[in-house]
Chain A
Amino acid sequence: MLASEDGLPCNRDTHEDLLRKLRKLLPPEAVLTDKEDLRPFECDGLSVYRRLPLAVVLPETTSQVQAIMRLCHTLQVPVVARGAGTGLSGGALPLSNGVLLSLAKFKRILHIDSENAMATLQPGVRNLAISDAAAAYGLYYAPDPSSQIACTIGGNVAENSGGVHCLKYGLTVHNILMLKVVTMEGELLTIGSETLDSPGYDLLALMTGSEGMLAVIVEVTVKLLAKPERAQVLLAAFDDVFKAGEAVGAIIAAGIIPAGLEMMDKVAIHASEDYAHAGYPRDAEAILLCELDGTNAEVSEHIMKVREILHQGGATEVRTAVNEAERQLFWKGRKSAFPAVGRISPDYYCMDGTIPRRQLPHVLRQISLWSEEYGLPVANVFHAGDGNLHPLILFDANKDGELAGTEEFGQRILQLCVEVGGSITGEHGVGMEKINQMCIQFKAPELSQFHAVKAAFDPAGLLNPGKAVPTLQRCAEFGAMHVHHGQLPHPELERF
């Protein structure tokens, strides 16, 4: 028995046996073992963590997935499932002694049931492709993560993906009905149903956001919604970031639930404006983007109300997008904030904490104090409607001590999020990245309960082991999303 690079046991005889048997189960092109073939699978969207798996398998039927799982279970070989690999927390990072199971060939839309407003999909169907296919019926799939042109529905379920419209339309967990999954033991289970609920425990909620730790998703049935008649965006500028924060609360208190409500601070505004030329006011300390949707009459009524609230809240300027092109442009600036910040700094760390909204002034003030203390600038991008904060810490990894300072700074931000009643991750997931911060948010008995839940689905502990929930011994280290020289993995994708 040898130890591999990630410290996991590896046994050559088992591996040869495994590869031989995998080749019996699958056509030759569906089992990859050459280094250059494995390379594209070495990381997901969090590219600081890279590792080659023992083999990549590309099944195309559920029974092949079952056979692979049974084989791996028998041989005690770990399995990591992978969708499009756009995740930002290293959830799909391979194990060097394990099989990487790619669901890339599961890309068929099986059925669009317009009468019941639902769609049945293979897990490799791209998020945006669902809405494209449903558009003919006046329907769409609501969750819209920033990577929606590339990310797949199976991965969305595994991560409980959100998007800019979460406050009004919910996360993935609110928009799916049924899953077919294969357990580590190779059992095919139906979870949820085509009806609005199902008997027994809510395993559908448990599977959603479980980061590939409980079972492999082979089919997803989603709920579709009627496309709103109209969507309209307002842009408001503020000379004070705290006034912008208060205006967010005032909109909500007025009984309006915007479809999207986003905030950016000065550093982020400038970076975005230089990059996307969205027409953002450069003299503002903060801007808010507020999208309202619904029926024509309702949107008109809400725009009037929101304008008034923004002016009363001290906005120095309020603009309404005059047409669809300008609406898209307003959003483009926001959606390109990450790559835009990547251009102004050699490196940045992206945090993904959530906080109760009323804590925003306190948290921003603290971040700006720490920013001075560490001598590291911060750009703040904020899903203001749902309290999801993305502070981007700007640093240069080539300068001595900056990485260490950034990591410590980041850790303090996440710790603060937890202290004020929030969470270490709002939407990017724990994966490998925030496994240590889980120790801040959860106590030992809670982590033990998570491990017990995993064991209920995967008693052998072979599915994506080592991710999402730390062992109690692990609770001392630290990691965060690290972007070197502005090189985001998948730079073509919008990130917000």
Chain B
Amino acid sequence: MSACDISETLQQQVRNAVGNGTPLKIEGGNSKIFLGREIHGETLDVSGHRGIVEHDPCELVLTARSGTPLKEVEAALAEAGQMLAFEPPHFGDNATLGGTIACGLSGPRRPFCGSARDFVLGCKLINGKGEILRFGGKVIKNVAGYDISRLMVGAYGTLGVLLEISLKILPRPAASYTLVQECTQAEAISKMSRLLSQPVPVDAACYHAGHCYVRVSGSEQAVKHAHEHLGGEVIEKSEPFWHALREHHLPFLGSANPLYRVMVKPAVPPLEIAGEWLLDWGGAQRWLVSDEPIALIRERVATVGGHVTWFRGGEHNGEIFQPLAPPVFVIHQRLKSSFDPNGIFNRGRIYADL
């Protein structure tokens, strides 16, 4: 499908919904519908609003409409030797750029290069009054006004309909390989957290099924000596592994049991919660398949300052995301009504009444 700007149609649909008090369910490629709480409403289909608006490789900035398929964005960048450095998971063929940003998900490179929100420079959106607004810009440095573009990342469409997003992009590393070592979870945690204080060209590290995987990327010369320094067995063509990890295609992550995303400081020792563990992001993002009740998991994780998302297999109307402290939730409610005074956008997707 070719590029198409349907922002006026979308704006009219939002205005109608405001007029009729109809709740809206914003939909891009519908690939991340499994994530978050169940919501009801009339579908606002953004997938027709598509196309790359601007991409000049020398600027390291790309602007595209929200309904642009993520794979189309990635293909255009790859052609220019560039990439979305936060390595977003697609979770399906139809993933759009808008959905990726709204959900704020990042892949294995995140702890070393930054998250989806780190790369957002600006956006155009429709707020809950049906106004089209622009925030941020197409430049790397910009401190005019509050950072509303980044506020949209991970807001799951509850604050507005994203129309256009500008992202900082980076060159693809010239060379990349992976080092694998057999070890225990505790050994992997200590190995991975040590990477944080060493000047090594590492851009991914995980622990899975008794093995620690470390991806080394950079210029030809940069990666050459990393092997001697870090040790382990070299896998040259390791992209399928990282792809499978990112997309939850590893058998473990596809399990029918509930999947929890446990966020902790990377050096936190193995958590004593029954289940199977996979550690990504150098130990900072831990995936847990477990039958333990969510309350118990949250309680244990809270003791080490972490938080838990019920990523897959959660109760549709339950506490999918970690509940917020009451005064922080009050700010969330006020922000929601400042953008969406009638509460029409994706109401309840993150928290009930938001």
Which residues of A are interface residues toward B (Cβ below 8 A)?
113-118, 137-139, 159-160, 162, 166-167, 170-171, 173-174, 183, 187, 189-191, 193-203, 205-206, 208-210, 213-214, 224, 226-229, 249-250, 252-253, 255-257, 294-295, 297-298, 300-302, 354-358, 383, 386-388, 421-430, 434, 438, 441-443, 445-446, 449-450, 452-457, 459, 468-469
15 more CB-based (< 8 A) A-B contacts, given A203-B151, A301-B221: A159-B143, A167-B140, A173-B150, A194-B305, A195-B263, A201-B335, A206-B148, A209-B146, A250-B58, A300-B221, A301-B220, A387-B140, A426-B141, A442-B144, A445-B131
Residue of B nearest to A457 (CB): B331
Q: Is the CB of A195 within 8 A of B141?
A: no
Give Cα A297–Cα B175 distance, bound, in whole angstroms: 14
Nearest-neighbour CB distance to chain A for B32, whole angstroms, equals 16
Q: Is the CB of A297 within 8 A of B193?
A: no
Pairs A–B under 8 Å by Cβ, sample size 26: A117-B193, A118-B265, A166-B141, A167-B140, A194-B265, A200-B332, A201-B159, A203-B151, A224-B197, A250-B58, A255-B174, A295-B221, A298-B219, A301-B221, A358-B56, A386-B140, A388-B141, A425-B142, A425-B143, A434-B144, A438-B144, A441-B144, A450-B146, A453-B146, A454-B146, A468-B145
Stretch from B10-18, B109-117, B230-238 contacting the other chain? B109-117
By a CB distance below 8 angstroms, the chain B residues around A159 are: 143
Stretch from B91-99, B247-255, B322-330 contacting the other chain? B322-330
Kindly state whether residue B4 has any CB partner on chain A within 8 Å. no
By a CB distance below 8 angstroms, the chain A residues around B150 are: 173, 202, 205-206
Q: Is the CB of A297 within 8 A of B224?
A: yes
User: Which residues 257-305 in B have Cβ within 8 Å of A in the complex?
Assistant: 263-267, 281, 284-285, 305
Q: Is the CB of A190 within 8 A of B146?
A: no
Residue of A nearest to B60 (CB): A252
User: Which residues 299-354 in B have Cβ within 8 Å of A in the complex?
Assistant: 305-307, 309, 321-325, 327-329, 331-332, 334-335, 338-339, 350-351
Instruction: Indicate the size class of the contact surface on chain B.
Output: 35 or more
By a CB distance below 8 angstroms, the chain A residues around B339 are: 449, 452
By a CB distance below 8 angstroms, the chain A residues around B334 are: 455-457, 459
Q: Is the CB of B219 within 8 A of A199?
A: no
Q: Is the CB of A200 within 8 A of B321?
A: yes
By a CB distance below 8 angstroms, the chain A residues around B58 are: 249-250, 252-253, 357-358
Contact pick for A202, options B153, B285, B327, CB 8 Å = B153
Residue of B nearest to A229 (CB): B199
Give Cα A434–Cα B339 distance, bound, in whole angstroms: 25
Give Cα A169–Cα B52 distance, bound, in whole angstroms: 26
Q: Is the CB of A383 within 8 A of B221?
A: no
Q: Is the CB of A427 within 8 A of B143?
A: yes
Q: Is the CB of B57 within 8 A of A386?
A: no
By a CB distance below 8 angstroms, the chain A residues around B222 are: 294-295, 297-298, 301
User: Which residues 116-131 in B have Cβ within 8 Å of A in the complex?
Assistant: 117-118, 127, 129, 131
Nearest-neighbour CB distance to chain A for B286, whole angstroms, equals 10
Nearest-neighbour CB distance to chain B for A424, whole angstroms, equals 5
With A195-B305, A200-B332, A300-B221 as known contacts, state yes or no: A423 contacts B197, CB within 8 Å.
Answer: no
Give Cα A194–Cα B303 distance, bound, in whole angstroms: 13
Kindly state whether residue B147 has any CB partner on chain A within 8 Å. yes
Q: Is the CB of A386 within 8 A of B139?
A: yes
Nearest-neighbour CB distance to chain A for B146, whole angstroms, equals 5
Q: Is the CB of B81 within 8 A of A255?
A: yes
By a CB distance below 8 angstroms, the chain A residues around B51 are: none
Q: Is the CB of B328 within 8 A of A203?
A: yes
By a CB distance below 8 angstroms, the chain B residues around A255 are: 81, 171-172, 174
Nearest-neighbour CB distance to chain B for A292, whole angstroms, equals 10
Nearest-neighbour CB distance to chain A for B156, whole angstroms, equals 10
By a CB distance below 8 angstroms, the chain A residues around B284 are: 195-196
Interface centre among A302, A421, A438 (most CB of B within 10 A): A421
Q: Is the CB of A297 within 8 A of B221?
A: yes
Kindly state whether residue B155 has any CB partner on chain A within 8 Å. yes
Q: Is the CB of A201 within 8 A of B155?
A: yes
Q: Is the CB of B332 within 8 A of A173?
A: no
By a CB distance below 8 angstroms, the chain A residues around B135 are: 446
Nearest-neighbour CB distance to chain B for A186, whole angstroms, equals 11
Q: Is the CB of B193 within 8 A of A197?
A: no
With A197-B115, A255-B81 as known contacts, state yes or no: A162 contacts B327, CB within 8 Å.
Answer: no
Give Cα A450–Cα B59 distance, bound, in whole angstroms: 28
With A197-B154, A202-B153, A356-B139 as known contacts, state yes or no: A449 contacts B338, CB within 8 Å.
Answer: yes
Q: Is the CB of A294 within 8 A of B201?
A: yes
With A202-B150, A249-B58, A356-B59 as known contacts, state yes or no: A430 contacts B143, CB within 8 Å.
Answer: yes
Kindly state whether residue B20 has any CB partner on chain A within 8 Å. no
Nearest-neighbour CB distance to chain A for B169, whole angstroms, equals 11
Give Cα A430–Cα B264 distance, bound, in whole angstroms: 36
Nearest-neighbour CB distance to chain B for A402, whole angstroms, equals 27
Interface centre among A203, A229, A302 (most CB of B within 10 A): A203
Give Cα A166–Cα B141 distance, bound, in whole angstroms: 8
Q: Is the CB of A295 within 8 A of B225?
A: yes
With A195-B284, A195-B307, A200-B324 as known contacts, state yes or no: A160 contacts B143, CB within 8 Å.
Answer: yes
By a CB distance below 8 angstroms, the chain A residues around B225 are: 295, 297
Kindly state whether residue B133 has any CB partner on chain A within 8 Å. yes
Nearest-neighbour CB distance to chain B for A211, whole angstroms, equals 8
Kindly state whether residue B65 has any CB partner on chain A within 8 Å. no
Q: Is the CB of A425 within 8 A of B144?
A: yes
Kindly state whether residue B134 has any CB partner on chain A within 8 Å. yes
By a CB distance below 8 angstroms, the chain B residues around A457 are: 331, 334
Q: Is the CB of A456 within 8 A of B219?
A: no
Give Cα A450–Cα B339 distance, bound, in whole angstroms: 10
Interface centre among B137, B284, B339 (most CB of A within 10 A): B137
Residue of B nearest to A246 (CB): B58
By a CB distance below 8 angstroms, the chain A residues around B110 are: 196
Q: Is the CB of B139 within 8 A of A387?
A: yes
Nearest-neighbour CB distance to chain A for B110, whole angstroms, equals 7
Q: Is the CB of A195 within 8 A of B264?
A: yes
Nearest-neighbour CB distance to chain A for B56, whole angstroms, equals 6
